[in-house]
Structure 1
Amino acid sequence: MFGRYVRKEDLTNFGMYDLKGKGATDMYRSGTPIERIQHLLGHESVTTTEIYIKARLPDVSMPNMREMAEKKRRLH
């Protein structure tokens, strides 16, 4: 179902890994220990998990927000 929606909306730069990063970030922000997130994502290194949760950024926006905004502008 997700794949059909992505194709229908022609989101060329969006995929399952975007959701994986979003989910990891949401878990981290809700207080889930980074080691647990690391285990759930199957990462050998916590550094890889930190990349997924975008821990170095003060705030994280939705993945591909720019592409979605451009698509919305084209529809109107």
Structure 2
Amino acid sequence: MSSLSKPRRQARAKVGSAAALLAKNPDDPELAQVVEERRREYQVVTLEEHIRSVVDQAPPLTASQRDKLAALLRPSYDGPEAA
């Protein structure tokens, strides 16, 4: 049995499906964007699972500690997504 969780397997399958379509249609810029988005989604699922694992193993945090860690996930500038 796979060591990947169901959400990770599903996200990885979506990457594979989109990448296979892109391989058949390499000049399709919209499909290339879909593949990139699916890859980002897979990375987010992987990161979520890792963070959950670390948080579950850690002792309870104070509000200040939670705020400090949450700040690491907030953008410190107006990047391309702010447009």
| Bin for the TM-score computed over the shorter chain | 0.3 to 0.5
Normalised by the length of structure 2, the TM-score is: 0.32
Using CA pairs under 8 Å that are at least 6 residues apart, name the structure with larger relative contact order, 1 or 2. Answer: 1
Structure with the bigger percentage of helix: 2
Give TM-score scaled by structure 1 length.
0.34
